[in-house]
Chain A
Amino acid sequence: MALKLPIYMDHNATTPMDPRVLEAMLPYFTEKFGNSASRNHEFGWEAEDGVKLARKQVGGLIGADPKEIIWTSGSTESNNLAIKGVADMYKDKGRHIITAIHEHKATLDPCKRLAKMGYDVTWLEPAADGIVTAKQVAEAIREDTILVTIMWANNELGTINELPAIGKVCKEKGVLLHTDATQAVGKIPVDVNAAGVDLLSGSAHKIYGPKGAGFLYVRRRKPRVRLTPIIDGGGHERGMRSGTLNVTGIVGLGKACELCRLEMDEETARLSKLRDKLDQGILSQLEHAVINGKADQRLPQTTNISFPYVEGESMMMAIKEIAVSSGSACTSASLEPSYVLKALGLGDEIAHSSIRFGLGRFTTEEEVDFTIDKVVTAVKKLLELSPLYEMVLEGIDINAIEWGAH
């Protein structure tokens, strides 16, 4: 079968919708269009039934009670609600929050805003392997700590933080734990009780559901977590998030979660095999290429590889048939390379040339083979062009050079 180009290898950014999810959603656009808050007629009840089922499906995937699911527009909103909501609700108890420097911006920015408002934020720094450990969290917790927010799996690296262990530490110390599990939900087993998580953010479009639908898990028992809402209005979602529910999106999110739950074992086995093939295919042919983040503690379908002495954007150009994400400065608004890679202590020449490959449900082995070939050819060509590589071959330490500003 001929390969269809371009190839999508950026499933950590977003995923195509599974046709089964679309099928579940369709009736809710036209026939079952009711407002789930309409309590007094058939249209409302139908929509409410769809939402109820979705609550069960989401809860079923993460080991939560359906009542503990708060619908949002996606993980950015969920993180904002969790972090700002807890900070405000518990401000009389304390004003200290713990997070890490290589979290997603949707966590960093709410924390920065709180810092400006007078909260004290501790920014944990990972070791070179990218992992946030339970020990780090335990050492940072103080009398006045009200919230720890640490992502389950990192979006750029795919690394999995010490999650059940961090939850245990927080439970022992009586501190609430929020986790941005956007990348972990549906990819690896996530259980809020086993992991001791009090709040958890998730998003539909990362798991073959629609964009614009997400959820925040908010623990109801032991302890009962309370939040100050960000959006006030009709008091939907236990008063934590007002606004007419995005019924179609929610139905899609529910179906996506159900599919992940039923197919996770099989999908993980298939994708981790393909991901390992990609890693080995590239690393065995390119001597300087390195995996970023702890290789044996990652999501099964993600890999982040640096190609030292090769610049990221030219690399993307050379593999333009493959849609990937780069840590290069040129692909973002700023000149700085990825702050996540910098957090690992990588040199600029390495952080500038890293690529995240995100495999997904519809990725085929042919696509992986094609990717390996393309990447290896591109890097070899660009190394030929690279003055930095030439210096390294000559035995010059490029970090010892005083480079001019420009």
Chain B
Amino acid sequence: MAYSEKVLSHYETPRNVGSLDKNAKNVGTGIVGAPECGDVMKLQIQVDDSGKIVDAKFKTFGCGSAIASSSLATEWIKGRTLDEAMAIKNTEIVQELSLPPVKIHCSVLAEDAIKSAIHDYQEKNGLDHDHADASEHTKA
């Protein structure tokens, strides 16, 4: 198991670990994965009035690559608009962290977590969103 330096860095000192108030209207929560598969990610965003993500937090049950993927995701989405965050692709995470093929699912999960958090925020605030996409995600 050889991890890239970036994975190790995120694993050793994960960024943005924690929780936001899931009941707050300006917070979107995404929980994806399943304990059975050995990966569960919770990613939360706090959005300001202009639609910009001002804070992001995560907690992840999963391997080092899963922790690194979600840690990186929170880093990337902070300061972005919802649309910009929505556009993040798992392949960018794979590239940034040099994930091997067996760990690509971790990046997919991180992308799903971002989208799921955004959908939750949009739903709470009565905004448009692609419903079919959100239905794939786990709701706690």
Chain A residues with CB under 8 Å of chain B are 309-314, 317, 328-330, 335, 337, 347-349, 352, 384-391, 396, 398, 401-406
Contacts and interface: CB of A to CB of B under 8 A. Distances in A.
Nearest to B62: A311
B67 A314 contact: yes
Contact of B33 (A396, A402, A403): A403
Interface string B107-140: 0110010000000000000000000000011101
Nearest to B64: A317
A181 to B, nearest CB: 32
Interface residues of B, number: 34
B63 interface: yes
B34 A403 contact: yes
Query: What DSSP secondary structure best describes chain B's contact surface?
Result: mixed
Given A317-B11, A329-B38, A330-B38, A391 B140 contact: yes
A391 B61 CA distance: 12
A390 B11 contact: no
B1 to A, nearest CB: 8
B71 to A, nearest CB: 9
13 contacts: A312-B38, A313-B62, A317-B1, A330-B38, A335-B37, A384-B17, A385-B14, A387-B40, A387-B60, A388-B40, A389-B61, A404-B138, A406-B108
Which 3 A-B pairs give the minimum distances between C-beta atoms? A403-B34, A387-B42, A349-B35
Given A313-B38, A390-B59, A404 B33 contact: yes
A404 B36 CA distance: 10
Contacts, number: 94
B33 A311 contact: no
Given A314-B62, A317-B11, A385-B67, A396 B39 contact: no
Nearest to A386: B61
A348 to B, nearest CB: 4
Contacts of B32: 404, 406
A387 B40 CA distance: 7
B38 A405 contact: no
A399 to B, nearest CB: 9
Most A-side CB within 10 Å, residue of B11, B35, B109: B35
Counting chain A CB atoms within 10 Å of each CB, the highest count among B33, B37, B61, B63 belongs to B61
Given A335-B37, A401-B138, 11 more contacts: A313-B62, A328-B38, A352-B38, A385-B61, A387-B42, A387-B59, A390-B42, A401-B140, A403-B36, A404-B34, A406-B105
B72 interface: no
Interface string B75-97: 00000000000000000000000
A324 to B, nearest CB: 13
A310 B64 CA distance: 12
Contacts of A387: 31, 40-42, 59-61
B19 interface: yes
B63 A330 contact: yes
Nearest to B35: A349
A330 B106 CA distance: 12
A309 B61 contact: yes
Nearest to B112: A406
A352 B40 CA distance: 12
Given A330-B38, A406-B39, A311 B14 contact: no
A313 to B, nearest CB: 4
Contacts of B19: 390
A374 to B, nearest CB: 14
Nearest to B36: A348
Contact of B34 (A312, A391, A406): A406
A329 B103 CA distance: 13
A405 B62 contact: no
Interface in B1-22: 1, 3, 11, 14, 17, 19
